[in-house]
A and B are shown apart, each in its own frame.
Chain A
Amino acid sequence: MRMARARKAAVPIAVLALLAALWLAQTQLNAFYLQVLGLLGINIMLTVTLNFAAGYGGMFSLGHPAFAAIGGYTAAVLTYPVAMKGFRIPAYPEWLLQIAVPFLPALLLGGLAASIAAVLVGWPVLRLRGHYLAVATLGLTVIVQVSIVNLVDYTRGALGLSGIPNYANLWWIYGFALLTIYVVHRLVHSRFGRALRAVRDDYVAAQMSGVNVARTRLIAFTISAFFAGVAGGLLGHLLRILTPGQFSFNAVFIGVAMMILGGMGSITGSVIGALIMTILPQFIIPFERGGSFLGFELPALHGLTQIVTALILIIVMLIRPEGIAGSKELTLGPRLRRARGPSERTMQTSGQTSGSEVEAK
């Protein structure tokens, strides 16, 4: 791809603006807003990485909360203060109880653990057509959930693993979010990414062109799980607590909603989707408690956030199944659009609708 000059200038400017905004936020905002902003960054990361698997790879995963849980608990156990390990999570081998790993290696090891889980689930399932992966990964979510609850001496069970050091500030979170976006963007526009999209759109044609279908899918799925695992690690070190409830079916639904609202196959869309689905609940939660609003007495509306999420899932599918952004990206000015050339754009949009539609019937 030929780089336009506008892009060369625009990217550093955008990054600098973001850095300045992050610095302002980190120094000026109170703890509540910092937490919401942190969650936003983590949600962006989770959505972009889910989109890489589901939108670009056609691998509809309902297991990303499980990957986040695996990565989160792994990282948390590694960084957990040695003084508290002995009586809170005593079941680990002695050498592990004696060490507290620095944040970065702990995050990466968490991502690695999530990747291993992805290989174990993906290897048998990704050879198959259809959406067996959705059910198998939903199963992974159940397996991880049940394991966290029952392995009390490893995870503190339903109580939640509290007292995780507060390492994840906005710099860490947005650093990793940007890294995720960068890596996914580069991968999608590489030879590997073209192979991946070819497999999504027509696996027979891809196979004929010499793409190793199963391997391509498995690699992409593993990479996607890695970033989900790192995001889980960030979440634990932002909230300072991990509970099984954070990675329940609810997390599955919200993750899918963030992705499809923005658009499967668009990084820009994922960012928008994560933004909406992180901010919106902050306005809905007060209604769930009930009370008086604008003179009206409202009862406690349990599950209102979930109902809104559900309606978003349904209405987007009925009215605009391609989501807000479709498979388009936010481009930096008309010059860039020309520089990219029309060929790739048309290829991308037509492939998005035709291939799997035919295959499905």
Chain B
Amino acid sequence: MSAFTVFLQQLANGLVLGFLYGLIAIGLSMIYGLLRMINFAHGDVLMVGVFMALPVSWMGAPFPIVLLAGILAATAVGGLIQWSIYRPLIRSRDVTLLVASLGVSLLLQNLVLMLTSPQPKRPEPDPFLDAPFQIGGVFLRNVDLMIVALAVAFVIGTHWFLQKTRPGLAIRALSQDLSAARMMGIRVPRMVFICFLIGSALAGVAGVFIGYKYGHLTPYSGFLPGVKAFVAAVIGGIGSFPGAVVGGIILGLLEVFLVGYLPDQLAQFRDAYVFLVLILVLLIRPSGLFGRAEFVKA
């Protein structure tokens, strides 16, 4: 393989991972934009979604049904958590929400651990998704194409929702100025709830794809991708919708290229690099690519 083919291969892998991060980051970024809340449980909602879709897959359902099950499960869990735990706290200090989300994260991880088993699981392999193909020396599987195609579709769909519908307009207004929007008669709790549903659904999409692509799911599989996706949202500019997607892609590319081009001893530090990137971004450009930063000191 020539150096250029290797580069192309890394580029393709990075893009696929980046779209997954982007899907997860959208929900995190929207919620932060509205509530200044870092939802540490977002990745765990993803995990619960895919774990509830697994039995559907084992019963022999085709991929679209499994995907739908994952989306529905994640949306239901995300909505339930928002309604029962975050909603009563919506007016409290942002630390309260942050701690509550830590609690939810720990709860989801260990409930799933208790109800299933610590052994890693995977969905029933789908022959179509696993079929490999090759363009210009780059080896991919259909699942990679599917990730990019569906991620683009869902991103466009969400973008359309935010730009063209009344609830979308309300959500954008809220993220610009919550109290002004409230005075204009926007129902804040309902809009926050809708944001959670959208974010959780997109996380569910990412979760099912992670299951099919990597096939090694444990109750802890969601937490770290969730936190990394927050880093992606910060890179893109937290609160910004295009920022979340672009940030996700940048983070995916960075991660894959760092691991691919660093010598083996350094490549093991994969997860560490993501957070070094976060610290660098916060140092150099805390507002990210598309966001507005809030400094303590000008």
Cβ of B230: which chain A residues have Cβ within 8 Å of it?
Answer: 135
Binary CB contact string for chain B from 253 to 286 against chain A (1 if under 8 A, 0 otherwise): 0000000000001001111101110111011001
User: Given the interface contacts A142-B271, A146-B272, A147-B272, does A135 sit within 8 Å of B227 by beta carbon?
Assistant: yes
CB pair A360–B85 under 8 Å, yes or no, is no
User: Given the interface contacts A127-B297, A143-B272, A302-B114, does A132 sit within 8 Å of B103 by beta carbon?
Assistant: no
CB pair B103–A317 under 8 Å, yes or no, is yes
CB pair A307–B282 under 8 Å, yes or no, is no
Q: Quick check: is A228 within 8 A (CB to CB) of the other chain?
A: no
User: Given the interface contacts A131-B98, A139-B278, A302-B114, does A311 sit within 8 Å of B231 by beta carbon?
Assistant: no
Q: Among B92, B106, B278, B283, point to the contact of A253 (Cβ < 8 A).
A: B106
Q: Among B109, B113, B275, point to the contact of A136 (Cβ < 8 A).
A: B275
CB pair A146–B271 under 8 Å, yes or no, is yes
Cβ of B146: which chain A residues have Cβ within 8 Å of it?
Answer: none
User: Given the interface contacts A136-B279, A318-B89, does A131 sit within 8 Å of B94 by beta carbon?
Assistant: yes
Q: Among B114, B179, B283, point to the contact of A307 (Cβ < 8 A).
A: B114
CB pair A317–B118 under 8 Å, yes or no, is no
Q: Quick check: is B296 within 8 A (CB to CB) of the other chain?
A: yes
Q: Quick check: is A231 within 8 A (CB to CB) of the other chain?
A: no
Please provide the chain A residues from 179 to 218 with a CB less than 8 Å away from any CB of chain B in the complex: 203, 207, 213-214, 217
Most buried by B among A123, A260, A313: A313
CB pair A310–B295 under 8 Å, yes or no, is no
Cβ of B102: which chain A residues have Cβ within 8 Å of it?
Answer: 252-253, 256, 313
Q: Quick check: is B169 within 8 A (CB to CB) of the other chain?
A: no
Main secondary structure of the interface of B (DSSP, over half): helix
Please provide the chain B residues from 58 to 104 with a CB less than 8 Å away from any CB of chain A in the complex: 85, 88-89, 91-96, 98-100, 102-104
User: Given the interface contacts A126-B296, A135-B278, does A318 sit within 8 Å of B85 by beta carbon?
Assistant: yes
Q: Among B89, B104, B282, B293, point to the contact of A310 (Cβ < 8 A).
A: B104
A129 to B94, CA, bound (A): 12
CB pair A303–B109 under 8 Å, yes or no, is yes
Q: Quick check: is A249 within 8 A (CB to CB) of the other chain?
A: yes
Q: Quick check: is B149 within 8 A (CB to CB) of the other chain?
A: no
CB pair A317–B293 under 8 Å, yes or no, is no
Cβ of A131: which chain B residues have Cβ within 8 Å of it?
Answer: 36, 38, 94-95, 98
Q: Among A307, A311, A313, A356, point to the contact of B93 (Cβ < 8 A).
A: A356
Q: List the A residue with the shortest CB-CB distance to B280.
A: A124
Q: Quick check: is B50 within 8 A (CB to CB) of the other chain?
A: no
Q: Quick check: is A314 within 8 A (CB to CB) of the other chain?
A: yes
Interface residues on B, range: 35 or more
Q: Quick check: is A128 within 8 A (CB to CB) of the other chain?
A: yes
Binary CB contact string for chain A from 283 to 318 against chain B (1 if under 8 A, 0 otherwise): 000000000000000000111101101111110111
Q: Quick check: is B224 within 8 A (CB to CB) of the other chain?
A: yes
User: Given the interface contacts A301-B114, A304-B114, does A138 sit within 8 Å of B94 by beta carbon?
Assistant: no
Q: How many A-B contacts are there with CB distance less than 8 Å?
A: 170
Q: Measured between C-beta atoms, what is the minimum distance from B169 to chain A in Å?
A: 20
CB pair B89–A124 under 8 Å, yes or no, is no
User: Given the interface contacts A317-B96, A318-B85, A361-B179, does A303 sit within 8 Å of B110 by beta carbon?
Assistant: yes
Q: Quick check: is A60 within 8 A (CB to CB) of the other chain?
A: yes
Q: Quick check: is A140 within 8 A (CB to CB) of the other chain?
A: yes
Q: Among A214, A264, A314, point to the contact of B100 (Cβ < 8 A).
A: A314
A306 to B280, CA, bound (A): 33
User: Given the interface contacts A146-B269, A318-B85, does A60 sit within 8 Å of B278 by beta carbon?
Assistant: no
Please provide the chain A residues from 125 to 161 with a CB less than 8 Å away from any CB of chain B in the complex: 125-132, 134-136, 138-140, 142-143, 146-147, 150
Main secondary structure of the interface of A (DSSP, over half): helix
A316 to B100, CA, bound (A): 9
CB pair B268–A357 under 8 Å, yes or no, is no
A121 to B275, CA, bound (A): 10
CB pair B114–A139 under 8 Å, yes or no, is no
Q: Quick check: is B111 within 8 A (CB to CB) of the other chain?
A: yes
Cβ of B93: which chain A residues have Cβ within 8 Å of it?
Answer: 321, 353, 356-357, 360
Q: Among A126, A129, A264, A316, point to the contact of B95 (Cβ < 8 A).
A: A264
Q: Quick check: is B234 within 8 A (CB to CB) of the other chain?
A: yes
16 contacts between A and B (CB under 8 A): A60-B98, A121-B279, A130-B94, A135-B227, A135-B231, A135-B234, A143-B271, A146-B270, A257-B103, A302-B118, A303-B111, A310-B104, A313-B103, A317-B96, A321-B96, A361-B36
Instruction: Please list the residues of chain A having a beta carbon within 8 angstroms of any beta carbon in chain B.
Output: 54, 58, 60, 120-121, 123-132, 134-136, 138-140, 142-143, 146-147, 150, 203, 207, 213-214, 217, 249, 252-253, 256-257, 260, 264, 301-304, 306-307, 309-314, 316-318, 321, 353, 356-357, 360-361
Instruction: Please list the residues of chain B having a beta carbon within 8 angstroms of any beta carbon in chain A.
Output: 36, 38, 85, 88-89, 91-96, 98-100, 102-107, 109-111, 113-114, 117-118, 178-179, 219, 223-224, 227, 230-231, 234, 265, 268-272, 274-276, 278-280, 282-283, 286, 293-297
Shortest 4 CB-CB contacts between residues of A and residues of B: A139-B275, A313-B103, A303-B110, A124-B283
